Amino acid sequence: MRRRTFLLGTATLAGAALTSHAQAAVPQPYSWEASPPTGNREAFIKWMVENRGEDPNFLVQRWARYEVLIANKDLANEANRRAFLLTPREEFALRQNLNRAYDHAFLDIGFGVTISGPHVVGRMTSAIDVKRGEKVLEIGTGSGYQSAYLANLTDQVFTIEIIKPLAERTRGVYDGLIGRGYSEFKSVTSKPADGYYGWEEAAPFDKIIVTCGIDHIPPALLQQLKAGGIMVIPVGPPGAQRILRVVKEQAPDGNFTIARSDIYNGRVVPFVPFTKLEGEAIKGTHRK
Ligand SMILES: C[S@@+](CC[C@H](N)C(=O)[O-])C[C@H]1O[C@@H](n2cnc3c(N)ncnc32)[C@H](O)[C@@H]1O
């Protein structure tokens, strides 16, 4: 199992374009007991500046997006509201997209892939109802934003990215943030690999979130999900997935049952493809 093991020397040119706007140390240590106020924008910003040392310009945008997420019912509970408000999305965007970090949109992060939009992240994460202490696996680390959000819900986050230089760049982002005092990101264990096969050594998982699209549920992921566990996964043909919530239950006779529901009631949400590693090279997809 790897925890922050990558060599930062492999950071790529794409990495050089990442944000480096706010290098201040975080003023207060992270506490699971502490949450920013949600009564009004000014109280939120004041608390975040005093406790997290973040830039008010981004906090204004985070609050504005939060209000829309609430109106859309994309954040199902208190824990998800807290996680959204505490996660600095701007740290995971490319510099050229900084002014769009809180847009209702997915954004380019280099390597031909994207950071998912904030509404999709909120709704998908809410669908797996992560509780503190649960072990969560993410397939498709990408920018690292989704795992950062998860690290504000639980202290056991495992994430896999198939594009090795992207996995290394994102590990560098986490290590930089940890160095500045974002100790919550120490909970993120990452590795470059093909996530189709899950993470056997770290399994079983209470929850699994897949952030790339595929036409079936990978058997290894279902196998590595605990009984009573929940997975959220975009399933469907290329560019036209539906996001499924999959609940695995074990019947008294020992057999497993799988219940599926669509978190958007049938709406199509396109995702980048669930690609396939052959040796060291990414070749095609895991499409059946
Ligand atoms: C929508 S993007 C990233 C979203 C990401 N969760 C974030 O917060 O930025 C999906 C990611 O899945 C990755 N991916 C695709 N196939 C994969 C596979 N077989 N194993 C692991 N990651 C994969 C892509 O390279 C891409 O980075």
Cα of 31 vs its chain's centroid, Å: 20
Ligand 1 proximity of 140 Cβ (cutoff 6 Å):
yes
For residue 9, pLDDT beyond 80: no
- Report which ligand 1 atom has the smallest distance to the Cα of 194: 20
Per-residue pLDDT band for 24 (boundaries 50, 70, 90) equals: confident
Nearest to 87 by CA among 22, 140, 156, 145: 145
The predicted model gives 127-156 an average pLDDT of 98
What average pLDDT does this structure show over 7-32? Answer: 61
Once rounded to an integer, what is the mean pLDDT over residues 4-25? 46
pLDDT at 5: 32
Catalytic one of 20, 31, 35, 116:
116
pLDDT value at residue 16: 41
pTM assigned to the model? 0.94
* Pocket mutation for ligand 1, best pick of 106, 108, 161, 287 (most atoms within 8 Å of C-beta): 161
Does residue 143's CB lie within 6 angstroms of at least one atom of ligand 1? yes
**Which atom of ligand 1 lies closest to the CA of 276?**
19
pLDDT tens for 176-210 read: 999 999 999 999 999 999 999 999 999 999 999 99
Per the DSSP assignment, residues forming a β-bridge with 161 are 192
Ligand 1 touching residue 125 (CB < 6 A): no
pLDDT value at position 96? 97
pLDDT value at residue 4: 37
Nearest CA to ligand 1 atom 5: 142
Q: What is the pLDDT of residues 229-259, one digit of tens each?
A: 999 999 999 989 999 999 999 999 999 999 9
d(CA 276, CA 194): 6
Q: How far is the CA of 255 from the centre of ligand 1 (A)?
A: 31
Asked if 35 is an active-site residue, the reply is no
Decide if 48 contacts 60 (C-beta within 8 A).
no
DSSP structure string for 154-213: -SEEEEEESSHHHHHHHHHHHHHHHHTT-GGGGGEEEEES-GGG--GGG--EEEEEE-SB
